[in-house]
Amino acid sequence: MKDLSEIKQCPRQFVLAINDTLNVLSGKWKLPIIASLLYGKKRYKEIQGNIENITPRMLSKELKELELNGVVIRKVYDTTPVRIEYSLTASGKDILKVLDAMVDWGVEHRKSAIA
Amino acid sequence: MKDLSEIKQCPRQFVLAINDTLNVLSGKWKLPIIASLLYGKKRYKEIQGNIENITPRMLSKELKELELNGVVIRKVYDTTPVRIEYSLTASGKDILKVLDAMVDWGVEHRKSAIA
DNA sequence: AAAGTAGATATACTAAAGTATAGTAATATT
DNA sequence: AATATTACTATACTTTAGTATATCTACTTT
């Protein structure tokens, strides 16, 4: 998703904020990657092993994007061979709050859908 | 997005709940539509007038999906000519809580991105 | 020296999401 | 009678997201 500017009657900064959040969460792989890193820093192959069926192309593409968006940190250790560790930024960890709100809504919504 | 089942180490029902929420929010038009209905029930043409550049195809497709997902109610008035009103279900209105969490995260994230 | 691992990139492709444009049925307005 | 409005649907197309498969460099292990 790129643009939510179609929403009117709502402060622009709020629209931008929601937009940012949705950009960080949407797509097939960003959330699994964030989830994997919520349990601590990981190396490329560890994340890959954690997430079933993700291709290396998708994993590096998404990690790059998450890094660019200030959600993930890529740390290169100057050893031989190089060791690369991915972790969440403070913001990245804070997404848990959003996920909590989403869990709450989703659970309640399922209840009311049955009723 | 269809499937987030790649996330491990997290209760399945939570994954499903997040999945549901993301399905209701992601895509280019669902949020603008929900936002438009947060200000009260509206007719098709009103929503269309509210949201710049949405095509009738997208609007009816998305409304149908939101209705199917228990977020929107479509009420047909038996007048001549028929009058159709769209509104949010209780669940639909509750999405505001998720949006609030998203606004909070987005705003904080922008702050820390600047710093 | 050959095979394997870490951390990717390149190229080509398919599938899903979204756009453009036209058209429909039923009624209302002039 | 002609035009406009509401609430859409149909068809074709483009764009974006995701998949499949092969390859690369630098190093380690056997």
Nearest CA-CA distance, residue A9 and chain B, Å: 9
What's the confidence (pLDDT) of residue A33?
Answer: 98
The confidence score (pLDDT) of residue B114 equals: 79
Q: Please report the pLDDT score of residue B1 as a whole number.
A: 55
> What is the rounded distance in angstroms from the CA atom of residue A101 to the CA atom of residue A105?
6
A58-98: per-residue pLDDT in tens?
A: 999 999 999 999 999 999 999 989 999 999 999 999 999 99
Mean pLDDT computed over A41-56: 97
pLDDT tens readout for residues B37-94? 999 999 999 999 999 999 999 999 999 999 999 999 999 999 989 999 999 999 999 9
Contacts of A102 in chain B (CB under 8 A): 17-18, 21-22, 98, 101
Residues of A with Cβ-Cβ distance to B103 under 8 angstroms: 14, 17-18, 21
Residues above pLDDT 70, as percent of chain A: 92
- Between CA A70 and CA A91 the distance in angstroms is 7
d(CA A106, CA B18): 6
Write down the pLDDT at residue B4.
58
CB contact under 8 A, B7 and A32: yes
Closest nucleotide (C1' vs CA) to A79 is D27
Comparing CB atoms, the residue among B35, B97, B102 nearest residue A7 is: B35
Which pLDDT does position B55 carry in this prediction?
A: 98
Which architecture, in CATH terms, is A12-114? Orthogonal Bundle (1.10)
Measuring from the CA of residue B45 to each C1', which nucleotide is nearest? D6
The beta strand positions in chain A, using DSSP E, are: 42-43, 72-77, 83-88
Cα separation of B76 and B87, whole Å? 12
Question: A7–B31: do the CB atoms touch at under 8 Å?
Answer: yes
- Point out the nucleotide closest to A60 (alpha carbon to C1′): C8
Mean residue pLDDT of chain A comes to 92
Whole-number distance in Å between B103 CA and D10 C1': 39
Q: Return d(Cα B16, Cα B23) in angstroms, integer.
A: 10
- Chain A residues in contact with B97 by the CB 8 A cut-off are 101, 104-105
Residue B115 CA distance to nucleotide C11 C1' (Å): 39
For residue A84, the one-letter residue type is: I
Above 80 in pLDDT, residue A9?
no
Assign A8 a pLDDT band (cuts: 50, 70, 90).
very low
Q: What is the mean pLDDT of residues A101-113?
A: 96
User: Residue A18 above 80 pLDDT?
Assistant: yes
Query: What pLDDT, on a 0 to 100 scale, did the predictor assign at position B8?
Result: 46
